[in-house]
């Protein structure tokens, strides 16, 4: 008897099927991966299982019994836990309070001391290191995720749903996280994991269910398949993963940072004496373990933060004193890593989000009047060109919060990568994207490069950095500790610099 069996699940939104007779079976002690393009219906399926949506039809059997959950509370009570694509922790509460949140009513007075001991014991058993008294807002994403998992384990679940759990983790954190999953599997937990990364599916899953347009297209045994086969099932073709970068990068300096420094803020990281040049027609990769100053670097260039020392010049003209908007108008555009926080207004529709930067300019605004029709027309074109998929008849008026994670990301790329861009600061531009969309966004970046623009590519994904960069600058502890040419940039070399190891050994600073 399977632990979980979902049969013939259908769910439509505004007449479009997000799940179309979907099936999913998970065994005890199995790690089951869900794979599919952005918008294929993965999150919808697990939301149905977790009681967030009611299916239009179909059945769920849990440990042999038919069930229907009308809320996450029901699902948790039955033994199903979920760590959502976007975390749901209360940032201004401690780890312990988050874990025991909403349990109070079940046990008259919850004994904090006992709860604390139990959290520590679970943390120890599964290698989920966290400090129960830390505030959630002070934790790294990796730590927050451990809290989410502890929260589920604390509720005695037997099946854990993980929706893109590794998207925000560093490679090291991912490796640790997989160790935790292996222990859970051994203990007999069932695990559903959603990820776009083939290497992760191959490394951790026992079976894979592939979805396409809301339908189940294949269920494969992981050790009997290959990434190519998976990608064929998923998007109907194999990947090319090779970009047209034959023409050499330009010589002319487009953007120059000289002696740029920034003091550390409470949760930010300091930058020390950054010297960088970005040339026309160049992709400059910024590698490094996340949290070594990359975000601050991006924010200084686009004007969200101001440097205390040094200067940043665009085409030889210092940008000091220019606002974010002025810099945008001069051609500095930004694909931010934190799409929900910085880049999108999720309660507004697609058109408004696409027009956030442009709405006050002709042809969208004339004599103080907004031309809605022109905006909608432009939005439709961008959606088509950047393959932003939304359900519903008039897709462009869909609220952004209803889009799948990957489609939200494509929306930002569609808005920022435009004609007048000169410098594209792209931070984790393909995070959360399926492999087809990833390829598409990378091609757009290369296209910008080949048109003579400059791209600063900040990515935690070394493969991405190596595939696209003309040069790679490595950051460690707020400094640029090395700049490597495309030839020199091997995984080993970048890895050493990322760990701050090769730093003192030789004058890597001069490797420009
Ligand atoms: N509440 C909703 N209202 C309307 N449409 C929705 C809603 N939730 C999801 N959809 C639509 O259903 C489809 C499937 O979305 P879902 O979030 O399940 O995709 P996904 O496979 O998780 O994609 P991703 O990899 O991008 O996260 C999408 O077209 C999405 O826009
Ligand atoms: Mg999703």
Domain edges within the chain: 4-235, 253-331+420-510
Render the burial of 263-278: b for 16+ CB within 10 Å, e for the rest.
Answer: eeeeebbebbebebbb
Helix 141-154 and helix 112-126: axis angle, to 10°?
110
CA distance 233 to 227: 10
Ligand 1 contact, 44 CB (< 6 A)? yes
Indicate the CATH number of 4-235 among 1.10.3720.10, 3.30.565.10, 3.40.50.300, 2.60.34.10.
Answer: 3.40.50.300
Contacts of 64 (CB under 8 A, 6+ apart): 1
How many CA within 13 A on the CB side of residue 247?
A: 12
Q: Which residues face 369 on adjacent strands?
A: 366
Verify whether ligand 1 is closer than 6 Å to residue 222 (CB atom).
no
Whole-angstrom distance, CA of residue 368 vs CA of residue 21 = 50
Residue nearest to atom 9 of ligand 1 (CA): 402
CA 304 to ligand 2 centroid distance, Å: 29
Q: Which ligand is nearest to the CA of 387?
A: 1
Which residue bears the tokens 């769910």?
Answer: 11
Distance between Cα 140 and ligand 1 center (Å): 27
**Ligand nearest to the CA of residue 162, numbered in listed order:** 2
The closest of 351, 399, 392 to 371, measured between CA atoms, is 351
- Nearest to 98, CA basis, from 69, 81, 119: 119
CA of 45 to the centre of ligand 1 (A): 9
41 lines ligand 1 (CB under 6 A): yes
The domain made up of 253-331+420-510 has a fold known as: Rossmann fold (3.40.50)
Evaluate: CB of 40 within 6 angstroms of ligand 1.
yes
Q: Is 36 in the pocket of ligand 1 (CB under 6 A)?
A: yes
Ligand nearest to the CA of 211: 1
From first to last of its 512 residues, the chain has per-residue pLDDT tens of: 899 999 999 999 988 899 999 999 999 999 999 999 888 999 999 999 999 999 999 999 999 999 999 999 999 999 999 988 677 788 889 999 999 887 755 555 567 888 899 999 999 888 888 899 999 888 877 788 889 999 999 999 999 999 988 776 766 778 888 999 999 999 999 999 999 888 899 999 999 999 998 999 999 999 999 988 998 888 776 666 678 888 899 999 999 999 999 988 755 678 999 999 999 999 999 998 777 899 999 999 999 999 889 999 999 999 998 999 999 999 999 998 877 777 889 899 999 999 988 888 888 888 888 889 999 999 999 999 988 988 766 688 899 998 888 899 899 999 999 888 999 999 999 988 888 888 889 999 999 999 999 999 999 788 889 999 999 999 988 999 999 999 899 877 887 788 776 544 444 444 43
Tokens coding 471: 């040069």
Return the best residue to mutate from 47, 161, 387, 404 for the ligand 1 pocket (most ligand atoms within 8 A of CB): 404
Per-residue tokens: 394: 């008039």
Mutate to test the pocket of ligand 1, among 11, 44, 82, 200 (most ligand atoms within 8 A of CB): 44
Strand 423-427 to 332-335 pairing: parallel
Closest-CA residue, ligand 1 atom 6, reads 402
CATH topology agreement for domains 4-235 and 253-331+420-510: yes
| Nearest CA residue ID for atom 12, ligand 1 | 18
Say how far apart CA 406 and CA 195 lie, in whole Å.
Answer: 12
Q: Which atom of ligand 1 is nearest to the CA of 403?
A: 31
Alpha-carbon gap, residue 411 to 418, rounded angstroms: 12
Distance 84 CA to ligand 1 centre (A): 14
CA nearest ligand 1 atom 19, residue: 39
Say if ligand 1 is within 6 A of residue 212 CB.
Answer: no
Enclosing H/E stretch for 479: strand 479-485
- Using a 6 Å cutoff on CB, does residue 302 contact ligand 1? no
Which ligand is nearest the CA of 395, by number? Answer: 1
Residues 430, 180: Cα–Cα separation, whole Å: 26
Task: Say which residue the tokens 């697609």 belong to.
Answer: 350
- Our answer on whether the CB atom of 399 is closer than 6 Å to any ligand 1 atom is no
């Amino acid at each position: 008897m399977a632990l979980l069996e979902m049969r013939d699940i259908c769910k439509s939104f505004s007449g479009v099927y997000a799940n179309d007779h979907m099936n999913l079976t998970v065994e005890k002690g199995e790690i089951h991966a869900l794979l599919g393009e952005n918008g294929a219906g993965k999150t919808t399926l697990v939301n149905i299982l977790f009681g967030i949506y009611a299916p239009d039809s179909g059945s769920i059997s849990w440990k042999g019994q038919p069930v229907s959950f009308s809320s996450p509370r029901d699902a948790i009570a039955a033994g199903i836990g979920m760590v959502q694509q976007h975390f749901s922790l209360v940032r201004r509460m401690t780890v312990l309070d988050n874990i025991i949140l909403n349990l109070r009513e079940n046990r008259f007075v919850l004994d904090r001391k006992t709860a604390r001991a139990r959290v520590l014991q679970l943390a120890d058993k599964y290698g989920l290191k966290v400090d129960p008294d830390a505030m959630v807002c002070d934790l790294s994403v990796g730590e927050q995720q451990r809290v989410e998992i502890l929260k589920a384990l604390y509720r005695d679940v037997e099946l854990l749903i993980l929706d893109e759990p590794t998207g925000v983790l560093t490679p090291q954190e991912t490796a640790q996280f997989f160790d935790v999953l292996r222990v859970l599997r051994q203990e007999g937990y069932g695990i559903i994991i959603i990820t776009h990364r083939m290497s992760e599916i191959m490394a951790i899953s026992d079976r894979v269910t592939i979805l396409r347009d809301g339908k189940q297209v294949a269920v494969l045994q992981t050790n009997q398949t290959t990434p190519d086969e998976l990608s064929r099932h998923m998007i109907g073709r194999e990947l090319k993963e090779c970009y047209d970068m034959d023409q050499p990068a330009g010589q002319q300096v487009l953007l120059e940072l000289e002696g740029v420094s920034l003091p550390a803020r409470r949760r930010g990281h300091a930058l020390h004496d950054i010297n960088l040049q970005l040339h026309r027609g160049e992709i400059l990769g910024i590698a490094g373990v996340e949290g070594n100053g990359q975000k601050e670097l991006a924010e200084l260039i686009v004007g969200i933060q101001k440097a205390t020392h040094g200067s940043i010049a665009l085409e030889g003209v210092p940008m000091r004193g220019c606002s974010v908007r002025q810099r945008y108008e001069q051609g500095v555009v930004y694909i931010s890593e934190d799409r929900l926080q910085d880049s999108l207004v999720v309660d507004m529709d697609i058109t408004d989000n696409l027009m956030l930067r442009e709405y006050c300019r002709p042809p969208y605004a004339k004599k103080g009047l907004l031309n809605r029709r022109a905006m909608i027309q432009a939005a439709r074109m961008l959606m088509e060109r950047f393959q932003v998929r939304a359900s519903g008849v008039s897709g462009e008026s869909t609220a952004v919060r209803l889009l799948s994670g990957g489609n939200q990301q494509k929306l930002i790329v569609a808005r920022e990568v435009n004609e007048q861009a000169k410098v594209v600061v792209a931070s984790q531009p393909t995070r959360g994207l399926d492999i087809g969309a990833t390829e598409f966004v990378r091609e757009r970046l290369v296209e910008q490069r080949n048109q003579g623009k400059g791209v600063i590519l900040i990515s935690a994904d070394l493969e991405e950095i190596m595939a696209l960069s003309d040069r790679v600058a490595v950051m460690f502890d707020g400094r640029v500790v090395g700049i490597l040419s495309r030839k020199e940039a091997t995984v080993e070399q970048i890895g050493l610099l990322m760990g701050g190891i090769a730093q003192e050994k030789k004058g890597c600073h001069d490797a420009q």
